[in-house]
Structure 1
């Protein structure tokens, strides 16, 4: 090919390429024009979605705050229950929940809370809240397609199981009848060294003191098992506290000396449970100055229960240390023996009344909303003892019935001689707490 022909061909190629570039630029412009609208819609939708997502986060936070705040310990709901003891739906708390939600959502720049469904309940010693909120979030880009708002809905639930505070009062029967052997084997061993008598009388200054004899022989008496069990229960209670000073305890007996038989404080109400436990372990068998002193009338449970009822007063809600739930533990063999010529339900021996527990004060105590736990240490049958067969055997079967009637529902237990008093008493304590105790 000649040189002039080559030059001509090269010019045609360059012209064709320039035309192609011009045609492609026009096509790109058309394509871009076709794509720009959906791209703008996608970007706009993303912005609207981001606003809705952020609004939902804020709405959820508001619902969470409302659900928790409406049933916090400082809330109107809890205060109302403390003041009135109401249960069921708590309207004031529902109103509070909405206010809390609105306050926490006020930072939203795009929408408000448009609807709400709120429920606050107090049942079964549990505060429960259920908060559902809705917000209509306006759109800014996708409204060109007729979508003016996006509905955002959230829900939050919460429960508050408050710590409950208790004052426990323990009344230990340490009268001479609690000087019986703790088990059948102890009774037999005591009878063998005590001329056939199953009771270890604690006679002050006597040269022959069967109480001391029982100790020397290693014979365990019923009162000692009880005092140790009370110590164990208090020790376990101290370890189970969820907060400091959640429990306070006091211990009482029927008196250290038969000559001054009366309700006697062994340990005053205190949050120092270790010191109360130590005092309980030292509760001793009531002493008598001589055999058959005062016709053996040293078990006036009626007077003791009336006395401790006055000391305890009315039980509280338990929601604060200043308004504690009050609980009485009665630990006894369930037989009264006192001078009571009137209102004795069994046959009198002169003015001496021997009978199962009179439950009249129990009714009064429970009417003050005090929980009453009754532990019956089985009164052992002593068929070889004439006094027992004459005066106690006729109503033996009713002793347990009366001790159970004294107790609040579910708070009665009986421990036979072979039973573990400590384990049963500790379980009774757990039963008391489980009725009302709530944890976060």
Structure 2
């Protein structure tokens, strides 16, 4: 055995040494890949600046190539690799048909430790990273607008008071003087048939120009469409599908997701359809048929069955899939022991479950969530105060559903924060990197 081990020891030691040297080489290569990608992306970002874009083409290329060498050197220097590794970089700026690209080729000679015994003093590696600005990123954008009864809350105290005044002025008979808005069993601005002395509060709000959460949600969705339109490079680049919970609560309990538009590339058609998005109809004041009036969890689960796996977006046949959820994060269903919120008139009102969102993310789908909340929770003290106790949890569910960095809150008028324009706009036209 001693003789056999003596004979095998060089092979065993050589194999161990090879593994160690190769592992080191792979680690260096990973760091160089990251440096090359960062350099290429930095160059295409600089190419759009007026100070660089205004230069003659030869000067522009030379300036960007010199900047690329500096950036690559800084990236590599920060990693501490230059002490032992000999590195060369060849950045090449190119323009073709108005599109700018930066190609960063790198080579490195990595000194070995154990392989020197076998006569191998260095391991040589290399690679190429290329970033392109202006390439079309093909996307299918699926927008789900929450149009459930809870989206009928006025967005400010002043708006709520104006609605009460309008309703009081029109109320007659047994409903006269009812400060809750003529429909005592309806906790929100219900969209109900105007019959038996009742007033359709949603129609009244529309006629009076009173802003509700559904209006803010619609404007937020239109903002996303505007960002996509701004990033448009070529026709059919972005296609939109629009979804709601349905036209009335009775149908929503059976079919939690209703498509109002699918795979539409014309933004004017998308805007027109969004403008028609309104609050779902409540057939009866007591919500007796509406135990599933806000089936947010079920709607996202249904969406997860519809949206295909996401592609890389580089070709029309491999579109990137994006889901945009505009909601207050509340879920309403028939009350049971699993209710985590509160029970009202046989319904459980609690935050939705973000678990179906994970099914979408597992297939590479990006999820943007936009939280729409009223600026007051005291227009109807009983149920709105209860909602106030779970609003933080609902916001947390919206955040958990979103892909990293893609959770936002809309203002009362539906306007999106500035970072949405930067993040989602950049995401729609992000330079493509290839190795």
Q: Same fold (TM over 0.5)?
A: yes
**1:430 Cα deviation after fit:** 4.6
Structure 1 residues 423 and 389 mapped into 2: Cα distance closer, same or farther (>3 Å)? closer
Q: Residues 148-196 of structure 1: CA distance to partner in whole angstroms, max 9, x if unpaired?
A: xxxxxxxx99643443211100000011111111333212222334433
Give 1:289's match in structure 2, choosing from 279, 283, 293: 283
Structure 1 residues 393 and 387 mapped into 2: Cα distance closer, same or farther (>3 Å)? same
Alignment-derived partner of residue 208 in structure 1: 199
Structure 1 residues 362 and 351 mapped into 2: Cα distance closer, same or farther (>3 Å)? farther
Q: Which runs of no fewer than 5 residues in structure 1 stay unpaired?
A: 1-85, 91-116, 121-125, 133-155
TM (norm. structure 2) is: 0.61
Q: Which runs of no fewer than 5 residues in structure 2 stay unpaired?
A: 1-29, 35-87, 92-100, 108-127, 168-177, 182-187
Q: Residues 216-275 of structure 1: CA distance to partner in whole angstroms, max 9, x if unpaired?
A: 333222212322342343244224301221111111001111221121111112222221
Aligned counterparts, 1:96-245, within 5 A: 128-130=103-105, 159-161=131-133, 162-194=135-167, 195-197=178-180, 199-206=188-195, 207-245=198-236
* Partner SS, residue 158 of structure 2: helix
| Aligned-CA RMSD value | 3.3
**1:342 Cα deviation after fit:** 5.7
Structure 1 residues 369 and 380 mapped into 2: Cα distance closer, same or farther (>3 Å)? same
Structure 1 residues 358 and 196 mapped into 2: Cα distance closer, same or farther (>3 Å)? farther
Alignment-derived partner of residue 326 in structure 1: 321
The answer on whether the counterparts of 1:163 and 1:439 sit within 8 Å (CA) in structure 2 is: no
Alignment-derived partner of residue 437 in structure 1: 429
**1:391 Cα deviation after fit:** 3.5
Aligned counterparts, 1:1-400, within 5 A: 128-130=103-105, 159-161=131-133, 162-194=135-167, 195-197=178-180, 199-206=188-195, 207-261=198-252, 262-294=256-288, 296-297=290-291, 298-339=293-334, 341=336, 343-349=338-344, 352-383=347-378, 385-388=380-383, 391-400=386-395
The answer on whether the counterparts of 1:230 and 1:281 sit within 8 Å (CA) in structure 2 is: no
Q: Residues 49-108 of structure 1: CA distance to partner in whole angstroms, max 9, x if unpaired?
A: xxxxxxxxxxxxxxxxxxxxxxxxxxxxxxxxxxxxx99859xxxxxxxxxxxxxxxxxx
TM (norm. structure 1) is: 0.60
Give 1 or 2 for the bigger CA radius of gyration: 1
Q: What is the count of residue pairs matched by the alignment?
A: 300
The answer on whether the counterparts of 1:359 and 1:406 sit within 8 Å (CA) in structure 2 is: yes
